[in-house]
Amino acid sequence: MFLTEPEQRLSDEYLRQGYVICPVADPEALDWMRSQFVRLIGETLGTATDGKPEDLLNRIHQRVAVEELNAFRLKIIRGFNGIEGFRERYFRVARPYLETLVGNELAMQLQVNLSIQFPGDDSSLLPVHADTWSGDSPFEAVVWVPLVDCYGTKTMYLLPTQKSTELGRQFGKQANCSSEALYQTIKDDVRWLEVRYGEVLIFNQALPHGNRVNREPETRWTMNCRFKGVFTPYGDKKIGEFFEPITLRAASRTGMAYRLPGTT
């Protein structure tokens, strides 16, 4: 392995834990993205959004009713995914870490996702799952970016690598269990990942993860997007349908276009 010492440390941490939490690589890009959220919230609600962005985001449950949350979230998602340069800035907050962990010829999910979780609300729960269980490629990594500080139950949990391997060996015994019953068998082993604004989480989506009811007094806002090596195997989510290449190198482009003389 010809990795540098910092690259080796980051890789070892990812392999051992199943995730890494790092300072964002481009703070200006993150601040710009959050400013777009503030603008979109004001436009969607038709209200002023003065004050600190974190106050607006943390207390949005005081302005939006639970029954209106999904429609509100979908409007915000459509809004930021339609902004030119948004996905590029999203990539920039994690680029050096992705290039170490995943590769420098990357495919990125076409749409960035958003989770909004109000305090005490059970309508936005993501039961324990691994994305590979439903057909995602095990070569993908998720870049998870909080717009507010995420801690306690205002964040996600993940079952670390070793415990996930142990679960996999006994998974047949869980075949008829509900997701809640499965969670109860692993709840003492999961890690609740504290990720502050200004940090980025990259995790192995083949490991079981999810969330629970947010018992903190603030709303959770987190974005997530999948990345993978362009030339690694794809699952049900194909290139051109779900992913697009974003850092294809010159030699790959010329190689893909090459035809032997005399062939068409």
Structure confidence by residue, pLDDT tens digits, 1-56: 799 999 999 999 999 999 999 999 999 999 999 999 999 999 999 988 989 999 99
**37 part of a folded domain:** yes
**246 part of a folded domain:** no
Tell whether the model's pLDDT for residue 105 goes beyond 90: yes
Q: What tokens were used for 73?
A: 């979230």
Distance between CA 90 and CA 72 in Å, rounded?
Answer: 21
**15 part of a folded domain:** yes
**127 part of a folded domain:** yes
pLDDT above 70 covers a percentage of the chain that reads: 99
**57 part of a folded domain:** yes
Question: Positive or negative, the Cα torsion across 36, 76, 55, 192?
Answer: negative
Distance between CA 230 and CA 255 in Å, rounded?
Answer: 14
**243 part of a folded domain:** no
Q: What's the pLDDT at 175?
A: 67
pLDDT above 90 covers a percentage of the chain that reads: 91
pLDDT interval class at 242 (50, 70, 90): very high
**At CA 164, angle to CA 139 and CA 143, rounded to 5?**
40
* Category of 123 on φ-ψ map: left (φ > 0), alpha (ψ -120 to 50) or beta: alpha
Task: Give the total number of structural domains in the chain.
Answer: 1
Strands 106-109, 157-158: pairing kind: unpaired
pTM given for the model: 0.95
pLDDT average, residue stretch 109-122: 97
**251 part of a folded domain:** no
Distances (CA, A) of 234 to 34, 42, 132, 206: 31, 39, 11, 14
Q: What's the pLDDT at 214?
A: 97
Q: Which residues of 145-183 are buried (b: 16+ CB within 10 A; e: fewer)?
A: bbbbbbbebbbbbbbbbebbeebeeeeeeeeeeeeeebb
Q: What's the pLDDT at 208?
A: 96
Note down the domain range covering 77: 7-231
**174 part of a folded domain:** yes
CATH number at residue 33: 2.60.120.620
pLDDT (tens digit per residue) in 139-190: 999 999 999 999 999 999 999 999 999 998 887 777 678 889 999 999 999 9
